[in-house]
Structures are given as C-alpha cells and as structure tokens.
Amino acid sequence: MAEMIEIGTGSAARRIAVEARAATSRPDSPPVVWLGGFRSDMRGGKAERLDAFCERAGGACVRFDYMGHGESGGRFEDGTISTWLEDALGVVDRFVDRPPVLVGSSMGGWIALLVARALAGTPKAPAGMVLIAPAADFTERLMWAHFPRAVRDTILREGVFHAPSEYGDPTPITRALIEDGRRHLLMDGPIATGCPVHILQGMKDPDVPWRHAVETMEAMASDSVTMTLIGDGDHRLSREEDLDRLEAAVARMVEGAATS
C-alpha cells in the first residue's frame, strides 16, 4: 500500500502517493527512482517490472504518482511541469539517501533531466539515467508547435483544450501547462546531466518521434549517452521484449554506478 506524503505549502499543498522498497542484500547500490509519464501512474507495466527487478536484486526502488495522477491527490488539470518537478524533488529528498539511477518515461524523461539539473553538485546528484522516449520540452516542441491555430486560440481564450487521446478520456491541455513549460525548456542549449545516460526509443512512436530523442541526445554532447532505437517500438514500449530491454539497461546502469 502506498505511503502518502505532503508536498507544497498553503493552497499548493497536496498529498502524493509513494511506494518505496528498501534495499535488502545490496544497501550500497544506487536506488532506482521511477519517473512516470504524462497521465500515467506507478502501477503500469514498466514501473512494476522495475520494482520486481529491484526486489530480486536486493536494491532500493522508489516510485510515486505526480499530483493529479494515479493515487495522488489534486486535479490533473491543475498540474504543471513546475508542480510535477517539485513532486519528484520532494520524493527524492525524503526517500533517497545516495545518488540514484533515474528512470524516466516520456514526460518523466524531461522531469529526470530537470531533477539532474536541480541536484547537480549535491550528494544526491544522479549516478545514471535510463530514459524511455524522453519528451524533453514536449509542451513547446511536441504540443504548441504543432497545434493548429484554432487549438491555440482555444487555449489562449478559454484556458484549456481537451485533446482527444487514444489512451482514454480527452486530455486537458491548459494554458498554465504551456506557459509554465517555457520556464523549463532545455533543448535550446546544451544539456548536462553529469552521469551516463541510456535512451530507449521506439521508431514507430507517434507521440515522441525518434528524431526528437536523437535531438535530445545531441544536446547531451558532454555526457556519455547510449541510444537504443527499436525499429517496431511504439510509445509505451511495454511489450515483454521492451521490458526486457528496460530491465537490462537499468541493471547495467546500477552495476556501473555501484562499481564506479
């Protein structure tokens, strides 16, 4: 059962659901921290696979739901990149005691890069990252830049556009989300994580095109970055063979960090 913690103060306070697995046989290995995607939750196949891997390996695993996602409190449409970044940093502050391996999926890839920037030079700066279809700057590059004028006008006039989604109910895209996202853009300059990075990207991903992932990798020229392009892979990368690739990439990253 998830533990509920409070993040934020005053009217911005919210309850965030966290599942934290303590290390057993390998207390000195880096904890794995799962950072989920836009409208996803910590009960998905990738997060569950990572938790099972950490249980078998004897290491720590931390996963959580952002505000408005899954089991956490708050409304999804009230969230922004700043909100969800604060959630991630609050969870790392409370549940991580050493440099972690961050595993970010889609929006979680952007959050992971922002967490790395925020923690640079601190005792909890990440030891490594595995990014799955990283959607860095997605509010601007993958949403706003491609919205028709009518959609942009609706967002500016009404404050929200309900975008159709193949994953379920329409997704509210708010003006606050778009405008706040501009405070966190990374890809207009170099991205420095200070740790090794492995990117997993499907080449049939309709949400985060593989070329976007390549541009993200190119922005990380100062880091050691490996990319695995999966020819028939979609956005979710949740097939058994995709989960095997994810587990193998995380295992290598954990081992590399533990022995460095």
Q: Is 167's pLDDT higher than 80?
A: no
Q: What was the pLDDT predicted at 244? A: 98
Q: Is 136's pLDDT higher than 80?
A: yes
Task: Residue 41: give its domain's CATH number.
Answer: 3.40.50.1820
Contact in structure between 37 and 31 (CB atoms under 8 Å) = no
Q: Which of 98, 76, 259 is nearest to 169 (CA)?
A: 76
Neighbours of 152 (CB within 10 A): 15
H-type helices in the chain, by residue range?
Answer: 45-57, 81-95, 107-119, 138, 149-158, 175-181, 210-219, 240-259
- Name the residue range of residue 48's domain: 3-259
Q: What was the pLDDT predicted at 169? A: 87
Contact in structure between 132 and 237 (CB atoms under 8 Å) = yes
Domain count of the chain?
A: 1
Q: Is 163's pLDDT higher than 90?
A: yes
Q: What is the pLDDT of residues 42-74, one digit of tens each?
A: 999 999 999 999 999 999 999 999 999 999 999
Contact in structure between 58 and 25 (CB atoms under 8 Å) = yes
Note the pTM of the prediction, 2 decimals: 0.97
Contact in structure between 119 and 93 (CB atoms under 8 Å) = no
Phi then psi for 61, rounded to 5 degrees? -140, 135
Q: Is 123's pLDDT higher than 80?
A: yes
Q: Is 151's pLDDT higher than 90?
A: yes
How is residue 246 written in tokens?
């994810």
- Residues 20-36 have a mean pLDDT of 96
Q: What is the pLDDT of residues 89-98, one digit of tens each?
A: 999 999 999 9
In this prediction, residue 179 has a pLDDT band, given cuts at 50, 70 and 90, of very high
Contact in structure between 181 and 140 (CB atoms under 8 Å) = yes
- Residues 220-246 have a mean pLDDT of 96
Q: Is 260's pLDDT higher than 80?
A: no
Q: Is 166's pLDDT higher than 90?
A: no
Q: What was the pLDDT predicted at 224? A: 95
